[in-house]
Amino acid sequence: MARTKSSKAWLHEHVTDPYVQRAKAEGWRSRASFKLMEIDDRDRLIRPGEVVVDLGAAPGGWSQVAAERLKGKGRVIALDLLEMAAIPGVDFFQGDFRDDAILQQLEEKLAGERVGLVLSDMAPNISGISVSDQARMMHLAELGLEFSRAWLKPDGAFLVKVFQGYGYDEFVTQMKQVFKTVATRKPGASRDRSAELYLLGRGLR
């Protein structure tokens, strides 16, 4: 099947993207690794000895960074709807975070241990219908927030990807009801034209 002009343009942008090239050269799973590295360099979120939960983990860029920065002290538990190749120091299982049975499996893996950091890079499969895509994106963010409220340590943090648009302001309000501080982050590895940004909540109220 012939590629469309838009898909050719995306492929060209992807192949020539400096972060994609760096990821390949340095052995990172994806360009997303650099997003978490930049945020963690600034905010010191990944602390050795803690449990890190990575929601929407595949292909593993964030889990890979978290495992490396834990330096063998602590745990990374990763979850995604898609398969993910094994990463040393990461306990991955496959499933849909929206499914109560999968959430129960995740909670069983925690075995009562509180979490230092919840990462959520979850995003729905984009349909092209912006209202629907945005609603599903915000729903995933809300599920991540609900999990964080239940499982984070009092001084824990929640880093979540969101799209600016319908429901964004309301979600920021929800974040502020849960966390003492809420900040926005737009790392350099996020494409300028992308509506994505990251919200960082720290310290449970």
pTM: 0.88
96 marked among binding-site residues = yes
Q: Which domain holds residue 39?
A: 30-204
* Residue in the block written with tokens 């499914």: 99
- Output Rg (C-alpha) for the chain, integer angstroms: 17
| Contact by Cβ (8 Å): 52, 115 | yes
| Contact by Cβ (8 Å): 103, 79 | no
27 marked among binding-site residues = no
| Contact by Cβ (8 Å): 122, 57 | no
Residues 25, 193, 175, CA angle at the centre, nearest 5°?
95
Parallel, antiparallel or unpaired: strands 51-55 and 115-120: parallel
Whether 152 is covered by a domain: the verdict is yes
Q: What is the CATH number of the domain that holds 178?
A: 3.40.50.150
121 marked among binding-site residues = yes
How many angstroms separate the CA atoms of 45 and 118, rounded?
10
Whether 4 is covered by a domain: the verdict is no
How many angstroms separate the CA atoms of 200 and 193, rounded?
21
Whether 19 is covered by a domain: the verdict is no
Question: Based on the structure, what is the number of domains in the chain?
Answer: 1
Element (H, E) at 43: helix 32-43
**Per-residue pLDDT at 195:** 77
Whether 25 is covered by a domain: the verdict is no
10 marked among binding-site residues = no
Residue 8 is among the residues annotated as catalytic for this protein: no
pLDDT in tens, 89-118: 999 999 999 999 999 999 999 999 999 999
pLDDT in tens, 41-81: 999 999 999 999 999 999 999 999 999 999 999 999 999 99
Whether 2 is covered by a domain: the verdict is no
**Per-residue pLDDT at 1:** 47
Phi-psi region of 164 (alpha: psi -120 to 50; beta: other; left: phi over 0): beta
Question: Is residue 163 scored above 60 in pLDDT?
Answer: yes
Element (H, E) at 182: strand 179-185
How many angstroms separate the CA atoms of 146 and 150, rounded?
6
State the catalytic residue, choosing from 8, 109, 161, 180.
161
Whether 75 is covered by a domain: the verdict is yes
How many angstroms separate the CA atoms of 81 and 140, rounded?
13
Whether 167 is covered by a domain: the verdict is yes
Of 174, 173, 177, give the one whose Cα is nearest residue 205. Answer: 177
